[in-house]
Amino acid sequence: MEPTHYEDSLREMFTIHAYIAFTMDKLIQSIVRQLQHLVTDDVCARVTDLYLSESANKSSGGLLSTQTSRATAEGTYQRKAEQLMSDENCFKLMFVKSRGSVSLAMELLDTEEDNSDEPAEAERWSDYVGRYLNSDSASPELREHLSQKPVFLPRNLRRIRKCQRGWEQLQQERMSKVPSDTSHDGSSELKMECMFKLNSYKMVYVCKSEDYMYRHTALTRAHQSQQRVNTRLHRRFHAWLDSWAKEHVTSDMAADNRKWLMGERREGLLPCTTTCHPKVLHYINVNKFRVKYRTL
């Protein structure tokens, strides 16, 4: 029977519930194709034989309480499987059964080699690092073109010059200070480490290595600009809110909202008294509502 005729017949017999039958039919077909691939493919057959042989050694799973004792055997089994599927993406599946429910965890294993000992690869890596670290690699023609048509925005250029002047002034202030007071002016640590992969020439940062820099007078400048920034952002937000309310909120809706905040609409509410207390919070005028429930 043709698949289309089969689906039409199911729809005639089961109407809208027919999708369950021909969906199961397609699912069974996909499962059969996967099983056929497992039986006919050479790599799949070898992986299956490896699983059966390692299962006899209790290297393919067991109780969670004894997982630590099987760690070495399971690691050996994983490395053997990665060698068999060196040209394929290798996934690690773990079934966890707890209180009658089974959970499936899937992990894509990183089988890429980190190092390469081939002389040609090492030589290419040395050339790459040399070009990467050389800051004078720009040609004179490129420098002349950049001077005529700079790619930097004027505002960024102004910021850089301002930072340079501030840094020079800061250095002068630090030189004029007493050595005992320089420790309170700021601190920095440069402990960032990185490695280069020889086969891909990628730079990878070392875990738990970092640079620490503290900008001098940053906290003081933040306190000084807090009022200005809060006021500006509050004004921008209220401008947007007023424009939105003008289009979507009517006067009756605003009045109902005010009555609800003040507890004047008491349908379904507990007896209470609501008061509004204007106050200033972080340089912004806000309304603080306080509710006092009546004792019955």
Series of mean pLDDT values for 10-residue runs along the chain (296 residues)? 79 82 84 90 88 85 81 87 84 85 87 57 69 66 69 70 77 64 58 77 80 80 89 93 92 88 74 87 88 78
Q: Which residues contact 25 (CB under 8 A, 6 or more apart)?
A: 6
pLDDT of residue 144: 75
User: Helix (H, G, I), strand (E, B), or coil: what is residue 60?
Assistant: coil
What is the pLDDT at residue 4? 78
pTM, 2 dp = 0.34
pLDDT confidence of residue 19: 78
Q: Give the pLDDT score at 23.
A: 82
Count CB neighbours of 201 within 10 A. 14
Name the residue ranges covered by the structural domains of the chain: 3-108, 215-248, 250-296
Alpha-helical (H) ranges within the chain are 3-14, 19-40, 42-56, 71-84, 119-133, 140-148, 154-176, 218-248, 251-261
pLDDT, residue 31, reads 93
pLDDT of residue 233: 93
Residue 69: per-residue pLDDT? 82
Name which of 80, 92, 75, 82 is nearest 112 in CA terms. 82
